[in-house]
Structure 1
């Protein structure tokens, strides 16, 4: 009898012991839900504040900067730069690069980069004015108490921070890297690879710059306890395997990044993210390249405004360059040399203004069309404003326009706007797209 009682007590104790972690997990889950709801509300208020009611004024400002740059570039210089390889002195071919890249003292004034943005993400200044944090350790072992000197320790710090790297390194993230606001990840001066692990998550934050890094071979993170700030950590579910995920965030600028081979998308911007510029980057070897708006039910993406400028969409890409739901997207002076389904797609009535791009169609006659409307009949999509102006279409490429033919022209007339550089200039403008090889004391 006593043995039976003892056994019963032991069973009860074991059940209670097993129940305690369940209670703790539930408490953590409830606390996390409340924490992220509050973050989401703050983030959405920033989305509303960042929204531009006259987006064509932003597109015109971008076009004007390119025009001025090209006017100061001689025809002889253009002929030299249009070759496949260039090994001469530093020459900037677009206004972002002209702002900083050929200055040999760039390493002594890294903050200068923050003044060089264009488009909807121009307000992003990242960690300008804050301390410089040098990443010296490529390891990523403790998700809750990250080791000082690692990138995970850097991105969770409070206040503005400009993050650089002490040497060449490959960082394999064990779980998604969750950033705080007011951060710059600046890979200049080192060859930095984020690879063979999880990707970068920019969630419910503001004011981020990611510059001159290589992101590739990204896989899903299993989830678990992860710290996202000095003051908070919590449970995260499995990450998608995106290279860079922008989730409910504002004022984000991604520049001179090389990306390929991620489990999901290379770059996603969803959940009311806005005021974004993606520029000077090189994309290869991927299916779903860029997703802007992930859900038909997420109407807050109507406030999404994105500039895609001076990028090279290169070898072995399939689709989504970008694929857009809702929102307003300016696709300007990019070079599209490969796609295997389509280049630019969308649903849910986005506005897509394509100006001065070069599109080289694949050999197959079945995939010459640049555009693809998804989940909509022509009677619906014919009212969507998708316009092509000054694009160079080669090898049979064609762009199916829709919406008001005077969409761009009316703004140009009413606000005296500047037209984009022609598509024939796109190979020159994107000449140095992708991660750079910068050495302190020399131009990039």
Structure 2
């Protein structure tokens, strides 16, 4: 394992002195970032609570027209993508609960919370957010071994926070914006990625089109195969106080046939990693919410201790 360059270490130390911030809590009771805006995200709060242990019970609860808190008990085998209706909280009970063989899709819906689930071996995506869905909070989950993406957000979806998740054993992790020609995404795709652990994954952490601003804050990237964050196709991404360890390309400005996007960098910690690329930082829109960033020097310890299932008392 390599050591941070002198410059990177100096920047990390400087940010610690300037920030003087307390380590972030690993169990927020409500989302930070974009999912806290636009009226906030409360999920099934105010509705009934049900516990499900079978695929059929899960499918019925997810599509209910009522606000519901759905407690998933145990690992439930499903096939395909299960639709989630608006005003739902889907919570895993304990560290061993979740979905095997399929995933969850949110299409044209709002006000949904997904927490404390392991979603694995999906034949499609683990999580798919599309068609203008908004106010979605995806928090403290484990995602691994899907056929396609682990958390894909696209088609004018908006006001989403992806926090405290662990992504591992996978290639294409997190896509934001699906097509270079989909100009309907302009003005949408505002997403906060905070305190996630990208653990030995390959690419898309996230890969962004059009979204501006997209806030990539206090995440830990370890042993990444291809690249960390990619900004393409007019996107504006603020990459702030993350920890990159064994990442040859922490940031990228063009992937596949997509043209370059824009990236603003601030105080990212580099351990045995390449130099992050930036472009037109002044074109990255200002972050519109208040937040308290964590010092980059403590991100690794905080994220490895707090990300994933079993860390929030459910």
Q: TM-score, normalised by structure 2?
A: 0.84
Q: CA shift at 1:343, angstroms? A: 0.8
How many aligned residue pairs are there? 289
- Conserved? CA contact 1:312–1:334, under 8 Å: yes
Q: Deviations over 1:117-175 (max 9, x none)?
A: 1000121110000001111x32x3xxxxx4xxx1111111112101113x4x2211123
**Structure with greater helix share of residues:** 1
Q: CA shift at 1:427, angstroms? A: 1.3
Q: Does 1:268 align with 2:198?
A: no
Q: Deviations over 1:255-308 (max 9, x none)?
A: 000011000000100111110000000000110001000011221222110000
Q: Deviations over 1:221-277 (max 9, x none)?
A: xxxxxxxxxxxxxxxxxxxx0000001210000000001100000010011111000
Q: CA shift at 1:397, angstroms? A: 2.3
Could you tell me which of 174, 179, 182 is aligned with 2:84? Answer: 179
**Structure with greater strand share of residues:** 2
Could you tell me which of 242, 251, 255 is aligned with 2:125? Answer: 242
Describe how 1:198-347 pairs up with structure 2 within 5 A.
Answer: 198-219=102-123, 241-248=124-131, 249-302=133-186, 303-315=188-200, 317-328=201-212, 329-347=214-232
CA distance 1:393–1:204, shift in 2 (3 Å): same
Separation (CA, whole Å) in 2 of partners of 1:334 and 1:370: 13
Q: CA shift at 1:372, angstroms? A: 4.0
Larger radius of gyration: 1
Separation (CA, whole Å) in 2 of partners of 1:345 and 1:190: 31
What 5-or-longer segments of structure 1 have no aligned partner? 1-66, 72-92, 100-112, 141-145, 220-240
- Conserved? CA contact 1:347–1:376, under 8 Å: no
Q: Does 1:402 align with 2:283?
A: no
Q: TM-score, normalised by structure 1?
A: 0.61
CA distance 1:129–1:296, shift in 2 (3 Å): same
Separation (CA, whole Å) in 1 of partners of 2:262 and 2:292: 17
CA distance 1:314–1:159, shift in 2 (3 Å): same
Q: CA shift at 1:390, angstroms? A: 1.2
Could you tell me which of 147, 154, 159 is aligned with 2:61? Answer: 154
- Conserved? CA contact 2:92–2:98, under 8 Å: no
Q: Deviations over 1:30-63 (max 9, x none)?
A: xxxxxxxxxxxxxxxxxxxxxxxxxxxxxxxxxx
* Partner SS, residue 120 of structure 1: helix
Describe how 1:11-26 pairs up with structure 2 within 5 A.
Answer: none
Q: Report the equivalent of 1:31.
A: none
* Partner SS, residue 125 of structure 2: coil
Q: CA shift at 1:421, angstroms? A: 2.9
Q: CA shift at 1:178, angstroms? A: 0.7
- Conserved? CA contact 1:181–1:208, under 8 Å: yes
Q: Report the equivalent of 2:293.
A: 420
What 5-or-longer segments of structure 2 have no aligned partner? 1-18
CA RMSD of aligned residues (A): 2.5
CA distance 1:396–1:157, shift in 2 (3 Å): closer
- Conserved? CA contact 1:281–1:310, under 8 Å: yes
- Conserved? CA contact 1:171–1:193, under 8 Å: yes
Separation (CA, whole Å) in 2 of partners of 1:417 and 1:130: 29
Separation (CA, whole Å) in 1 of partners of 2:221 and 2:227: 11
Q: CA shift at 1:376, angstroms? A: 6.8
Could you tell me which of 97, 101, 105 is aligned with 1:192? Answer: 97
- Conserved? CA contact 1:191–1:437, under 8 Å: no
Q: Report the equivalent of 1:28.
A: none
Q: Report the equivalent of 2:49.
A: 132
Q: Which has the higher contact order (CA 8 A, sep 6+)?
A: 2
Q: Report the equivalent of 1:27.
A: none
Separation (CA, whole Å) in 2 of partners of 1:375 and 1:433: 30
Q: CA shift at 1:176, angstroms? A: 1.5
Could you tell me which of 361, 364, 370 is aligned with 2:251? Answer: 370
